[in-house]
């Protein structure tokens, strides 16, 4: 798993210290939910996205490397994933998965296979 997957790219226009909680999340093929939690630890950054009614309230963890653009004016985060890829990713459970290295590896493998980061 590469560190790039867990870091915001410079092309995303993400500025460290920006609070992304509440921003809408756009997949490559449409709106998927909103940011519930965001971290910016070096080499370990991610977003937790609440997909709302779209996939029955499932929360998913998206590595920061999936973020292609942060639009501060529109308060949107654009990711390089389709709705289907997000729908099929491992489900995130805050109580069970926060800080769990094995879960993070599972997520990294899923995205590594599906988007080649």
Percent of the chain at pLDDT > 90 equals 55
The whole-number average pLDDT for the span 29-41 is 93
The whole-number average pLDDT for the span 77-103 is 88
pLDDT, position 97: 82
Quick one: pLDDT band at residue 18, thresholds 50, 70, 90? very high
The whole-number average pLDDT for the span 61-89 is 94
Long-range CB pairs of 51-57, under 8 A, 24+ apart, other chains included:
51/86, 51/87, 54/83, 55/87
The partner residues of 93 in beta bridges, in order of sequence, read none
**Contact (Cβ atoms closer than 8 angstroms) between residue 88 and residue 34:** no
The pTM score is: 0.89
Pick from 2, 1, 9: nearest CA to 65: 9
pLDDT, position 71: 97
The whole-number average pLDDT for the span 42-51 is 90
């Amino acid at each position: 798993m590469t560190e790039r997957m867990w870091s915001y790219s410079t092309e995303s226009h993400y500025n460290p210290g920006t609070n992304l909680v509440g921003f809408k999340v756009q997949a490559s093929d449409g709106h998927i939910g909103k940011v519930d939690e965001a971290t910016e630890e070096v080499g370990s950054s991610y977003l937790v996205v609440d997909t709302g009614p779209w996939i029955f309230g499932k929360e998913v963890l998206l590595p920061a490397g999936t973020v292609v653009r942060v639009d501060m004016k529109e308060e949107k985060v654009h990711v390089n994933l389709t709705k289907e890829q997000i729908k099929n990713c491992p489900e995130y459970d805050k109580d069970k998965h926060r800080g769990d290295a094995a879960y993070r590896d599972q997520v990294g493998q899923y995205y590594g296979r599906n988007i080649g980061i």
